[in-house]
Every structure is written in C-alpha cells, then in structure tokens.
Structure 1
Amino acid sequence: MARARNIKPGFFENEVLAELGPFDRLLFMGLWTLADREGRLEDRPKRIRMKLFPGDDYDVERGLEALAGKGFISRYEVEGHAVVEVANFLKHQKPHGTEKDSTLPDANGFLTVNERGKGGCVTGKKRLVHVKDTPSTEENNVNPTLDNSSVTVDSPSDNALILRFTDSPNPEEEHPLPPQGGDDAASSPGKAQPKPERKPRAPTFDPVSACPDCVTPDVWAKWVQHRREIRKPLTPTSCSQQGEDLASHPRPDAVIELSIANGWQGLFPGKIGAPGNEVGRAPPGSTSAVLVVPTHTQEMYPDERI
C-alpha cells in the first residue's frame, strides 16, 4: 500500500543525487512511498515499475543499481527475502503511528516489532525478533480498523496513509477542532453537541406606523418617503420627538409640507404660524429658494384697496 511521505528541500540540493538521471531521482522518491515503516520493500523491479512508472519506458532495474551504487539504497537477500532498504529512512521520515510493522527483515535477518498502545498506536518501545522465531505478523501488530479509514491517531506530525479519507492538503482540515461546551463536552467527544440558539431578530421598524395623531396619515407617509429619498430615514426616536414638536402646533400638516417643499431634513414648527401668518424662511445655511408667501386679506389692510 502506498503511503504519504515527506520530502525536504535538501533532496534537490544533494550533489551526489544530482549526478543521477531525472528518472532515477524520481524512482528514489517513489521508493519512499512504497517502503514500509522501516524503509524496506520487496526487491521486485517489475512490480515497482508497474506502481511507479506504468506509462513510461524506464528500466527500474538499472535505476535501482544506480541508486545502490551511490549509497542511497541497499539491496540484499536474507532468509529467502529479497529486500530493498532505503538508507537513513527513519532519519528523514516519520511514519504514521498506526502504520503496520515491517514484515521484511533487516540485513541480519531481524524484524522490528513495535510495542503498541490502545488503538494500535506505537508507544516508542520496540524489540528485534529474528525472522525465524516469529510469524510475519502478530495479532497486535496494527489496528485492524486502520484500512477502513478509522481515525485512531491525533498527531499532526505523523504521516497519513494516502488511502485514508481523512487526508487533506489543508492541515486545519486533518484534525477536527475540540468540542465546545466545557468539561462535559470534552469528556464525551463522540456525543453530538447542541447548536447554539439564535437570538430572535428584532422586528423591522416602519416609520409610517408611527404617524402622530395630529398629522394626516397621507402627509406623514409623504414625509417618511421624503426622508428615505434624502437618505435620512426616520428612526423611532426621531418619530417620537417630531410627534411631540407637532402636537401643540395648530397646523402640523403645513409644517411637514413646508419641509418637504424646501427639501429640509427636519421640521420647523416656528416657520408656520396661525392661518394667514405663515413665514416661509429656510433655516440658516439652507440654499432652498422656496418661499411661502403670507395670504393677504382685506381685513389686514382696512384703509387700503387691494
């Protein structure tokens, strides 16, 4: 089974390796993915070619000889096993904690058997057993659910099997965040945690519904639309304040109509007096040219003819 392995920048800077051809260097990297946790694989050039170069006309046997000649791999036979061993494999690679023990012996015929804890994870303790004295695998050699994509190791530094569904190019996706909710949630990670309740959204304020009792609804609706058009929509506070300002005015509708006509943002009750005594001046700083002219009657000029 192919496995994910690490590659370091120094690989491309190795002057000895650079003396080999590009396919030989690619073969070297490919051997890492085929090797077991001890850096060993069966010395079967035809099988290696089918796994690494199925579409290329490349002589794997010659490439293995080239790598062995430079000291990057060793090839040996012991107790009926033909083995390729990558040099300094464990110096540059960190196999996954639940990866199977090697079933291939070293050059002296010894197998490395790792002590494993709960879930099949290696503990760091190991022993050497001669290949003649033990079966190729032991019952506790590997977690039996590993090949079924069971998550048994939570270590971001461990390499993961390529065939595991949990593999991801994004490190943040490889290991889920711890459960939220305090000690109770942490003590039962398998239990689904309830979703936080959403706060009910406050109802949208409709300024039309806040029409003061003293104002005609149609006039107030025009005022609301005017404030929207000048990008100054009415708020609950402004509606309440304007209602108080208009409550004691004899002509509240006229106050609003004057503000709309002049393009004002606010209401100015003082600009509209009793009937026949309106003053239509714009507030200081306004550029509006609209002026409300007072109504002239005969009673206002008893001694003159209009």
Structure 2
Amino acid sequence: MARARNIKPGLFENEELAELGPFDRLLFIGLWTLADREGRLEDRPKRIKMKLFPGDDYDVDEGLAALADKGFVSRYEVEGFAVVEVANFLKHQKPHGTEKDSLLPDANGFLTVNERGKGGCVTGGKHLVHVSGVPAIKGNNVNPTLDNGSATVAPQSDNALILRFTDSPNPEEEQELAPQEQRPAPEPEQGPPANEAKRGTRLPADWTLPDDWLAWALSERPEFGEAAMRKVGESFGDHWRAATGKGATKLDWQATWRNWVRNQRIPIGVQRAGPSLGSRPSNFVNLPKHTPDMYREESAHDGPNF
C-alpha cells in the first residue's frame, strides 16, 4: 500500500545520489512511498515496477542494485523473506502514529512491535520479536496479532500521515541520504528533577518553584521582585495541587506557569518599574506667597470700586 512521505531539499544536493541515473533517483523516492513504517518492503522488482513505473521501460532490479551499491538501500533474505530496507528511513521520515507495524523482519530476523494506546496510536514503547517464533507470519503469511492496522486502527486513518517539511540550512550537516550506519542502542531517558512537574501528570505535592522558572518570571515581570514572585509560585502550587478533573493534569506545566505569571496583578504596595508619582516635580512651585497685605483695601479711593 502506497503512503505519503516527506521529501527534503537535501535530496537533490546529495552528491552520491547525483551520480545515479534519473530513473534510479526517482526509484529511490518511490521506495519511500511503498515502504512500511520501518522503511522495509518486499524485494519484488516486477511488483515495484508496476507500482512506480507502469508505463516506462526501466529495469527496477538494476536500479535496486545501483542504490544498494551506493548504500541507499540494503537487500537481504532472512527466514524466507526477501526484503529491501531504505537506509536511515526513520531519520528522515515521520510515520503517523496509527500506521500499522511492519510485517517484514530486519536483517537479523526481528520484527518491531510498537506498543499502542487508545485509538491505535503508538506510545513510544516497542519491543523486538524474532520472526521464527511467530509461526503465523513465517513464510509471508500475515499474523493477526501483529496487524495493528485492522485490529486497532480505524480504516480511514490507517494510512494517514503527518507531513513535516523541514528545510535544512546546511544539507551537509544533516547528512541527507547518507549510507546506512549501525544504530547504537538508545540511551535511557533522564527524568526531570523531583521538584519539576512532568508533562501530562498532576502537580506533585512537594513541588517548589524551580530556579530557572523564577529567573524567567522575574525577567518577564521585574516589577514584582523576588520575594513577591516566590509568593506567586506558592499560589501557583496551591491552586494546581487543589485542582480536580482534567484541569489537574497539564500537557505542559512550564507553559502553564508562564501564563500564570503573565496574568498576575502587581501586589499592593509594589510600584511598577520607572519613576513613581512622588518623584515627579510639582507644577505648583515658586509661586508668590499669599499675605494679608496683598488683599488690604486702600483707605482713600475715589470712583467706583471696580
């Protein structure tokens, strides 16, 4: 089944790929649309030709060999499967979370099974299963337990893709379409400090205002001062620890803190930055002093009193 994929500008500047013929380069792009979420497809040149070049006189088998010679794809046979795997596929493509798992093993015979949450969307967890231990899939038969498309994904979203168009200012830096390198084992993720709220969780009972959050708040609202801003942090913690329902769980607590700070009113008794009212010069200075003599009537006066 063909899928929508992403083409980056660096593709056209890759010197290794430029040495191949135009049809070979087009074949490489076409393989992305035929590959599954792991970048694999069956090594069946005739079927590939019918999918990508139905009206052209082009030898797909020779094109695959040329791409493999340059390291852009690998061709292998394992446990009865003949597979083409696109190099660095997941580095440059972002399959949609509901796209079904690959039914083709890697060069070592392992299938990647993704853990899925509500709606059939991958959660990030995955594990490997050797294809020899899955009798239903050995010999190219579909194993229902691995077919996430029909079991957990709605038909209309089975092939939906999020397209991410990212222009790289330095194609050489991104190493676009470089030959496949052995992937190192992923390093364990480091959790956030204990006093920082994790994304998508309740605010911890022992949460205190982190220093970097305080520094940002003071740069945004310098008129508060550190002592007043720490009280703002206490009010933030008290409010969200007492919150219930969906509002008690935020996707991003740091963004929530920023909105909280921006909406705070200046505490009573704290003046905004800049000159205060008392420091402005008065308009009523250097006026003549009023004395009783200024309003004394003259004793001898002729004529009307005006």
TM-score by structure 2 length? 0.49
Larger radius of gyration: 1
Whose RCO is larger (CA < 8 A, sep 6+)? 2
TM-score (structure 1 length as normaliser) = 0.49
